[in-house]
Chain A
Amino acid sequence: MHGEVVTEIIDKMGIVTQIFGNHPHYMLVMVLIGFIGGTLSGFIGSGGAFFMTPAMMNLGVPGVMAVAANITHKFGKAMMGQKKHGEMGHVDKKLGIILLITALAGIRVAVVVNGWFFEHMGKAGSSLYVSVVFCVTLSIIGVFMLRDALRSRRPGASGPSDRFVKMARKFQIKPLVYFKVANVRISLIVMIVIGFLIGYMAGTIGVGGFIGVPAMIYIFGVPTVVAAGTELFLAMFMGAFGAFNYGVEGYVDLRLTLLLYAGSLVGIFVGAIGTKLVKELYIRMVTALLILLCVVSRALAVPQYLGELKWVSFTQHVASLCELGSKLFLFGSGVTSTAIILYLVFRVHLREQRLFRLYRPEAMPVASIRR
């Protein structure tokens, strides 16, 4: 059933030109993708890439170029996002730096592997590889996070599950390192392994936060807001390294990156400020639901790549349905979750403003406390 491996002579520069030439409105869609990704990123510390990478692929961008554009965009977005979280005291730089060192090694390995798939199996092969890794990894994370968020809604339960934290503490391999902002003690060996995996995922599917943030919360026991802020700090350097590596290989089309920025650098500040206003449980629930819907979306795109590689044959009708389903799940989930976040954030903001107007100083008696 396996057909020939299709080797394509790829004009990397022409791909995006062709996409925007055939569908000029995709440029606005890219801005919207960026806005959704930025809002999610600021709110949950991640979520930009797991939405933006497959969203770009749904527009016809090859997997490796979507990852390259996203990881390049991640650099600048994370730089501005962690600046905001840093002002709010959510960044543990020591934790971020240690994870970063091994993450960079992971990224380099991922760039080489990703590039191999693109050069030897073409656009379809690259997209298939990225999609499979995406689906397998994020479905595990999404199910776990959703179960945990639902558990937290029960009376008496609060905060993320500490089951893995307790397990990790039983296997604390020395040396142990203490992190002040996060207020946790972690095995250096465990951090090296997790850091490498974060980097490999970031380099493969452009997603680092959805490994890094849950790892920090559920394995290291870091509070959610500190995990979100620290992940953005980490993402800044990982993005820079990823941008450099993919740029050296010639996969970064700055049109994609600049269009993503147009939306994401608006959304990221709203999302970051939202972490101060909105209940922490909602953050985790939105994250988990969004991951799972994006996994469904990516899974529906796999048949298309199998067909292009001639490994499996589908009727045109089935292929069209899968493609439509993939787009619907992805954009539907992204738009819905962003709308939910914006609703939650603005509801709290407006309630706060109403409260302030009720108790504003000008409405008070002139006499004030005297020393």
Chain B
Amino acid sequence: MRPLFLFVVPLFSGLTASASGFETGPQGARVLGLGGASTAYINSIAGLSTNPGLLGQWGDSLTRISIGHLSQFRRSSFIGQDTYRRTDQELTVQPGGYFYATHGVGKRVAVGLAVTMPYGYHTKWPNNWEGRSVIQESQLSTYFVQPTVGFRLNDNFSAGVGFVYAYGKYSQRRALGQYDDPAAQSKFSSSGQGYGVNVGLYGRTGETLAFGISYRSGLNLKMNNGKLTTVGVPERDDALYPSTADFKTQINLPSTLSVGVSDRITKNLLLTFDFTLSGWSSLDSLKLDVAASGTAPARRISTARRYEDALAFRVGAEYQATPKLTVLGGLRYADTPVRDEFINPEFVDANTLGASAGAVYQLGRLALEAGYAFDYGQRRTARANPVIDRVANVSGTYRTGTHMASVGVAVAF
């Protein structure tokens, strides 16, 4: 264990960036309470989506199912650099949920299924805010389906591999602020799918220490069915902005490399640690390729993102308070993939510090799980240069806070 761990530390210490972006948080009530440090955590099958290598550990005769609901409330405030006006994002709930199932087949093999919604956001600014011509509302939702097979290599090691099918929906709308009509706006909506793999390894050294390492490939959601609708354009500009047009886009979701350790300090207390490196640098820009419509030629609306790979560090603790009640807690720090020069109100992000808490109550075969986490972001300052006329942005400062709450049940039978 020790040699591996020493190898991992220099790997990450050279990186200036750390992983939040538009992850919706740990995909399970129990792992949410744990702060998401679940790469080497086998007390919830929600670890399946983080590390398929864990699956081999659930290869006994039991069938396990875990299901629950997850909601994310993400909210930013903005103060215009020159106007001094404060605008708060409207309250939105990014709904999420998860479903996991595992079943052993034979002595060394287990199969599992993970259905999660790991990436997404819902940004909604007031319709008449200062940056309305940059963005009024934007939403991304993703659904990952991951059939997985796990192998128990020996008593201490297991490995797993999963195939990821992802489906995503993206929409945004923005005002056409060059017109007097406050209702003039463009709406984009599209959906598409992508594929990836997820592989992982889990090992135990002795009775108390375990480690996990996993890699999930990046995904490319290809969206070819986009519809653009434009309203409120004066007649003289009808030819420039046809009321409907098709568009294509693609959204790259990052690869993740996770390394985790869990250590049973006492009989009742378990500590877990995770490093995650998210390959956000695959998200270079958002390009909306609008097809020709009527007399309007094809055009590309491109917004630079230039995301950086980002690192997150998470610590979790699980304490068995009574035979029926387990409480959880976690802390985490995540670097943002968003660089200073590319802060954009469509998705505001910052380096975040977060804390979480959770509880599990055992009722026979059934476990009731609940988790809550809060992340608070650093202040970010966006500076738009008006002379670069193809970049639509607003200058100002942002603060972002994110609440995540989840409830679920887990059964083993």
Do A and B pair up? The answer is no
Q: Show the binding face of A for B, using Cβ within 8 Å.
A: none
